[in-house]
Structure 1
Amino acid sequence: MAQIRLKNVSKRWPNFVGVDNFDLTVADEEFLVLLGPSGCGKTTTMRMIAGLEEVTEGEIWFDDRLVNRLEPKDRDISMVFQSYGLYPNMTVYENIRFPLKVRKVPAAQHHDLVMKAAQAVELSALLDRRPAALSGGQRQRVALGRAIVRQPRVFLMDEPLSNLDAKLRVSTRAQIKNLQHRLKVTTIYVTHDQIEAMTMADRVVVMNKGVIQQVGTPTDIYDRPANTFVASFIGSPAMNLIEGEINGGVFRAPGVQIAGLSNRVSGAVTLGFRAEDASLVSGNGQLSAEVYSMELLGEATMASFRIGDSLVSVKSAKSYRSEIGDTVHAAVPAGICHLFDHQTGVRID
């Protein structure tokens, strides 16, 4: 397989910076997810790794080989896109086989390689069908089978689940993760869906405006977001962020007073906490506000409040009920809180 190193890689156009000083090493056999909103540079980064975009500055290495000037066909990669890109006149068997023909793999090896790939993506019973006779999930599995059939050193996947409905996304992402674990191929996966990133990645690279915001395991970025952008992007719901003042270890904002915080910080800050870490209480709490909305989630009830310009959510038991406009109280212990610089948004430790 391959270790991939991006050394201070940038992609610039005359009036736009797509990727700025991207510096990262992807370990051999790692499943790395590039995560961020549309336009953040994640797909551009993947296209530079693939050789589909020219690097403006920096170097891309596959193990000990500089690949900046190599054509995509010479990088030994396989790509899976949002659009399946299947040949409608070919059967599933022929679609999976096609890369072997293009790369002039000896014909005697084709059948065994196709059958092995088809078995890996659970398509052995559908090899005689054409794409029009397949569901969206089955078509995406054909695209996966076509990517793995020639056993590349690197998989590159660009939002491969975006065209699937919610139920299929759940099952297909589990299959992709399991497949990558079994094949042990270095994989770079691009998505804007933080749930995909959290459930699939060994490590996540959170990007915004072409710049890396944080790199870490899903647990790292969920529990210790590096800044307010990461905090607001990761989690469902995202971390609550409240602007206020802290003095003497006490944070204050309209309807909020939380004691026991750091005495080393004073002045304007942004305080964050996760909805599931707080709780609704019958007596006084650190937060008091009118209910803005109530949502029954099945396993829990989500209550939301307006605190200044922020919408703040707290999870409670599924049996909890309250009416919009009721004043309720929430316990927000100091130990669950995060502090961020009011101006830069950077985490304060």
Structure 2
Amino acid sequence: MAEIVLKNINKRWGTFIGVKDFDLTIADREFLVLLGPSGCGKTTTMRMIAGLEDPTEGDILIDGKRVNDMEPKDRDIAMVFQSYGLYPNMNVYENIRFPLKVRKVPEAEHKERVMRASAMVELDEFLHRKPAALSGGQRQRVALARAIVREPNVFLMDEPLSNLDAKLRVSTRAQIKNLSHELKVTMIYVTHDQIEAMTLADRVVVMEKGIVQQVGTPTEIYDNPANTFVASFIGNPAMNLIEGEIRDGVFSAPNITVSRLSAADGKVTLGFRAEDAAMTDGDGEVSAPVYSMELLGDATMVTVRSGSSLMAIKAGKEYRSEIGAQVKASVPASICHLFDTASGARL
């Protein structure tokens, strides 16, 4: 059992605010992802949970026990970092075994626990190798196994995939997802990669400048972003965001007019997802010249311009057009999101 409660956590260095008013309960066995750009406070939050940073204000509770003054080694937490942190003079077996030696676990248990952790991340054939003879993906798996062997209540992972190439990132991501299912422990995972967040998380915390912007399941955050920051950060491509004006339920901006919107007259930002819109041969809410065409294999991404903004629209893989050609797209009111232009908040 490892429920983690963060109560009104603040972290400041002088006048600089790293994390502000962070309140959250992380359920036992939940996979929580802290997501945001560099410098948003996600790693600082994780380091406070681990005990590597002290909160300026607020309480951190693990299983109902306040741990603010508890040493990191006493919090029953294992961390996996972006840098693998392996001992170059030890082989894989000894690297995985090291936490057991430090914690004075009876030696009779070592082999069984190391082999179990190694099997979970498919390292059995590399146990005799030194880290220098391993690929980046294999080294990251050694770091994972070294955390697993401790059998902690909580796993903290700080951008563990960012040093891997794209293909390895996909396979290691699947491995981490499977591990969370197998180990049945609480996992907190830090990343700036929204695809990792969407594929791994039970819940996502989106952060910017030390402030929580939205907390929810990947589906909730994708379908109902709380503001333009979340809308622009989640999704590949990000949600189209067009500044314009509403008059009598009709939104107008260069090259786009959408009717039947229920919002007060005035300036608004209209958002829609590329996959929700559709290219059309007939009438459409968008009429604009093609800015670029990208063939994605399973689809074609058509980009057109609205004033200074670009709009991406996903078409079928067989769709073809020329740059500069006038095209039309359907953007019905039912797929649109409206945001306050000044504050960015969802209307």
Same fold (TM over 0.5): yes
* Distance of 1:345 and 1:150 partners within structure 2: 44
Match of 2:152 in 1: 152
Match of 1:235 in 2: 235
Q: Alpha-carbon deviations, 1:66-117, whole Å to 9, x = none?
A: 0001110110100000011101111110000000001111111111111111
Match of 1:266 in 2: 265
Q: Does 1:338 align with 2:337?
A: yes
* Distance of 2:229 and 2:24 partners within structure 1: 20
- After TM superposition, give the deviation of residue 213 of structure 1 in Å: 0.2
Task: Report if aligned partners of 2:255, 2:305 keep a CA contact under 8 Å in 1.
Answer: no
1:132-147 counterparts in 2 under 5 A?
132-147=132-147
* Distance of 2:159 and 2:93 partners within structure 1: 24
Match of 2:109 in 1: 109
- After TM superposition, give the deviation of residue 284 of structure 1 in Å: 2.0
* Distance of 1:83 and 1:169 partners within structure 2: 15
Does the residue aligned with 1:87 lie in a helix, a strand or coil?
A: coil
Q: Which is further off, 26-35 or 101-110? A: 101-110
Match of 2:184 in 1: 184
Match of 1:121 in 2: 121
- After TM superposition, give the deviation of residue 306 of structure 1 in Å: 1.5
- How high is the TM-score relative to the length of structure 2? 0.99
- After TM superposition, give the deviation of residue 15 of structure 1 in Å: 2.8
* Distance of 1:207 and 1:285 partners within structure 2: 36
Does the residue aligned with 1:99 lie in a helix, a strand or coil?
A: helix
- How high is the TM-score relative to the length of structure 1? 0.98
Match of 1:42 in 2: 42
Match of 1:169 in 2: 169
- After TM superposition, give the deviation of residue 311 of structure 1 in Å: 1.1
Quick one: which amino acid aligns to residue 161 of structure 1?
Answer: L
Quick one: which amino acid aligns to residue 199 of structure 1?
Answer: T
Q: Does 1:18 align with 2:28?
A: no
1:322-337 counterparts in 2 under 5 A?
322-337=321-336
CA RMSD of aligned residues (A): 0.7
Quick one: which amino acid aligns to residue 171 of structure 2?
Answer: S
Match of 1:257 in 2: 257
* Distance of 1:238 and 1:332 partners within structure 2: 16
* Distance of 2:109 and 2:34 partners within structure 1: 35
Q: Alpha-carbon deviations, 1:25-63, whole Å to 9, x = none?
A: 100000000000000000000000000011100000001
Q: Does 1:194 align with 2:194?
A: yes
* Distance of 2:332 and 2:170 partners within structure 1: 34
Match of 2:82 in 1: 82
Q: Does 1:284 align with 2:283?
A: yes
- After TM superposition, give the deviation of residue 254 of structure 1 in Å: 1.0
* Distance of 2:282 and 2:104 partners within structure 1: 74
Match of 1:307 in 2: 306
* Distance of 1:200 and 1:147 partners within structure 2: 18
Quick one: which amino acid aligns to residue 157 of structure 1?
Answer: M
Q: Which is further off, 194-203 or 252-261? A: 252-261
Task: Report if aligned partners of 2:203, 2:215 keep a CA contact under 8 Å in 1.
Answer: yes
Q: Alpha-carbon deviations, 1:167-223, whole Å to 9, x = none?
A: 000000000010011101100000000000000000000000000000000000000
* Distance of 2:60 and 2:175 partners within structure 1: 29
* Distance of 1:343 and 1:71 partners within structure 2: 44
* Distance of 1:311 and 1:14 partners within structure 2: 40
* Distance of 1:169 and 1:322 partners within structure 2: 34
Q: Does 1:294 align with 2:319?
A: no
* Distance of 1:201 and 1:266 partners within structure 2: 38
Quick one: which amino acid aligns to residue 328 of structure 1?
Answer: V
Does the residue aligned with 1:347 lie in a helix, a strand or coil?
A: coil
- After TM superposition, give the deviation of residue 133 of structure 1 in Å: 1.2
Does the residue aligned with 1:246 lie in a helix, a strand or coil?
A: strand
- After TM superposition, give the deviation of residue 246 of structure 1 in Å: 0.9
Quick one: which amino acid aligns to residue 301 of structure 1?
Answer: T
Task: Report if aligned partners of 2:279, 2:315 keep a CA contact under 8 Å in 1.
Answer: yes
Does the residue aligned with 1:93 lie in a helix, a strand or coil?
A: helix
Structure 1: stretches of 5+ with no match in the other structure: none
- After TM superposition, give the deviation of residue 289 of structure 1 in Å: 0.8
Match of 2:67 in 1: 67
Does the residue aligned with 1:59 lie in a helix, a strand or coil?
A: strand
Q: What is the identity percentage for the equivalent residue pairs of Structure 1 and Structure 2?
A: 73
Q: Which is further off, 279-288 or 164-173? A: 279-288
Quick one: which amino acid aligns to residue 177 of structure 2?
Answer: K
Quick one: which amino acid aligns to residue 17 of structure 1?
Answer: I
Q: Alpha-carbon deviations, 1:125-149, whole Å to 9, x = none?
A: 2111111111111110000000010
